[in-house]
Amino acid sequence: MQTGRSDPDALAELARAALGEGEEERALPYLAAATASAPSARLWQWKGLLERGLDAHDAALSSFAAAARLAPSDPSIAHGRAQVALEAGVNAVAFFEQANRFAGVKSDILLGLAAARAAAGRGDEAAAELEKILTQAPLWIQGHVQLAQLRATLGRPELATASIEHALARLPGEADLWRCLCDLHLKREDYPALGACVARATAAGQGSAVTQDYSAIVAAETGDVERADALFASAASDLLAVWQVRHLLRTRRFAEASWLIDQVLETDRAPAIWPYAATAWRLTGDPRSAWLEVPGSVAFVDLRKELPALDRLAALLRSLHRARGEYLDQSVRGGTQTDGPLLSRIEPDIRILRAAIVGAVQQYLDRLPPVDPSHPLLGPRRDRRIRFAGSWSVRLRGHGHHANHVHPQGWISSALYIALPDRQPGDHPHAGSLSLGVPQAELGLDLPPAQMIAPRPGYLALFPSWLWHGTHSFPAGERLTVAFDVAPPR
């Protein structure tokens, strides 16, 4: 990265390159010096973006405020300030409204405004505004998707697809709307509804380019084995590989599944197939199973001394659980999940929490076996700053649990226990426990857990993101956790 030049254009290019390469720390001192000696709205903006990339959102807010003072009507500065505020946990509604006035109608600003309203406890207002916009712009697919998720978290999942249905009533020939509707049914794993959607799309004149992949998925996931076999055999898209592997595992054709898994592992779709590789190799006694599940890949770390007082942290987290329902495509069953990047928030206790987590993850990485370029956990480099692909809190009520799932966007995943219900006489020995290595129940495979972890307040579980994980339900009380995915290093 070039660092010798100091003119504004060169500094802007330096900052742009640093963001792309994950080198924000190296570029930030140059932007800090430039903004101190010759204030420039654009350079303050770049400084704020670098600080945002470092999850230093308090500093980023100050930089964007300085940029806004110098260029009060600049739309990109206004939008950046709004986004940083939203991620920082600051009420960002007014900032997004201001950006909307300066930039005109832009979809990403409207989506941010809806998210900001929901974060401020104004979810019903956000839903109503999105619905109004979609009446005027029925082909705005991102808006339909956000409204569907918003209605689900507001406790109205039966209305999740209503805006798309209204749009299709007006525009039944629009393929993107049919794909959007099918994708939402797929996200919520409602395969009968997906099948009905495919039938309706076909009746509306949509061809195989829209319906074929969904038809194969429906056949496989609803047990129509012969039809699924035929559809997978005729499919031209490699997007179906994971679904075909699921189908082969479900129908006990383990050798065929293993062969297909090996083909996919040679492609850029490998991250999505590793969970199924782990399952197939355990089922068949493949020696690669031992290679995959390396010593130290699961850790349970005591963070009580590094964390804020758990009662205080629990109270803060509870205040963030504004949702009344579950996301369409998450593992939570019987509880709520916070929105936005939790570890980017600027509350002092969240910053202490983040620092404790970063330290624990670094120690976990330091204790892993040597780098193995072919291994999904051991392959990535370990000399980069720890970044998060997502972070959130989950609050489960009595009988709540997590369905078995994986995190294909992550490298290392987690569960940090903040508050747990008291155990009662007669509780199941594994009530509330974290189960690792058990595939989704829908696959119908009889695999015992590779490991079980009994939760303890203040303890952090770390494990590979491709490892199946879920929780056993508990009879009563509250289970409050923090979770995050460590992003693969750049």
At 336 the three-state DSSP class reads: strand
Residue 399 has pLDDT above 90, yes or no: no
Q: Which of 133-147, 240-254, 352-366, 414-428 bottoms out in mean pLDDT, i.e. has the lowest?
A: 414-428
Q: Which tens digits make up the pLDDT trace of 185-199?
A: 999 999 999 999 999
Where residue 189 falls (left for φ over 0; alpha for ψ -120 to 50; beta otherwise) is left
Q: Return d(Cα 363, Cα 284) in angstroms, integer.
A: 33
Please state the rounded mean pLDDT for residues 418-432: 82
When pLDDT is cut at 50, 70 and 90, the band that residue 5 belongs to is low
Average pLDDT, the chain: 94
| Alpha-carbon separation of residue 448 from 120, 279, 438, 468 (angstroms) | 43, 11, 6, 12
> Under a CB-based contact definition with an 8 Å cutoff, are residues 454 and 472 in contact?
no
Tally DSSP H helices, then E strands, for the chain.
20, 9
The pLDDT of residue 1 is 46
Provide DSSP, 84-117. Answer: HHHHHTS--HHHHHHHHHHH-S-HHHHHHHHHHH
Q: Return d(Cα 294, Cα 273) in angstroms, integer.
A: 18
Please state the rounded mean pLDDT for residues 457-471: 96
When pLDDT is cut at 50, 70 and 90, the band that residue 427 belongs to is confident
Helix (H) or strand (E) holding 351: helix 348-366
Give the CA-trace dihedral at 90, 93, 94, 97, to 10 degrees: 140
**Going by DSSP bridges, is the β-strand pair 469-471/434-436 parallel, antiparallel, or unpaired?**
antiparallel
Q: Return d(Cα 163, Cα 137) in angstroms, integer.
A: 11
Residue with structure tokens 């509350």?
347
The pLDDT of residue 6 is 65
Structure tokens at 353: 């929490």
Structure tokens at 277: 């590789």
Structure tokens at 275: 């969970």
Helix (H) or strand (E) holding 333: strand 332-337
Residue with structure tokens 């692909």?
389
Residue 147 has pLDDT above 60, yes or no: yes
Q: Where are the alpha helices (DSSP H) in 408-463?
A: none
Nearest Cα residue to 437 out of 253, 244, 283, 262: 283
When pLDDT is cut at 50, 70 and 90, the band that residue 3 belongs to is very low
Please state the rounded mean pLDDT for residues 466-489: 92
Nearest Cα residue to 478 out of 412, 364, 394: 394
Domains of the chain: 8-151 (1.25.40.10), 162-292 (1.25.40), 299-486 (2.60.120.620)
| Alpha-carbon separation of residue 114 from 89, 98, 108, 241, 247 (angstroms) | 15, 14, 10, 35, 38
Q: Which tens digits make up the pLDDT trace of 104-144?
A: 889 999 999 999 999 999 999 999 999 999 999 999 999 99
Percent of the chain at pLDDT > 90 equals 86
| Alpha-carbon separation of residue 60 from 85, 93, 247, 458 (angstroms) | 9, 18, 47, 30
User: 487 or 473, which is more confident?
Assistant: 487
Percent of the chain at pLDDT > 70 equals 98
> Under a CB-based contact definition with an 8 Å cutoff, are residues 177 and 168 in contact?
yes
Helix (H) or strand (E) holding 388: strand 388-402
> Under a CB-based contact definition with an 8 Å cutoff, are residues 381 and 453 in contact?
no
Q: Return d(Cα 432, Cα 421) in angstroms, integer.
A: 9
The pLDDT of residue 2 is 47
Chain centroid to Cα 265, Å, comes to 22
Please state the rounded mean pLDDT for residues 18-41: 94
The pLDDT of residue 81 is 98
| Alpha-carbon separation of residue 378 from 289, 434, 436 (angstroms) | 14, 23, 19
Please state the rounded mean pLDDT for residues 421-431: 79
Residue 4 has pLDDT above 60, yes or no: no
Please state the rounded mean pLDDT for residues 320-329: 86
Q: Which tens digits make up the pLDDT trace of 74-91?
A: 999 999 999 999 999 999
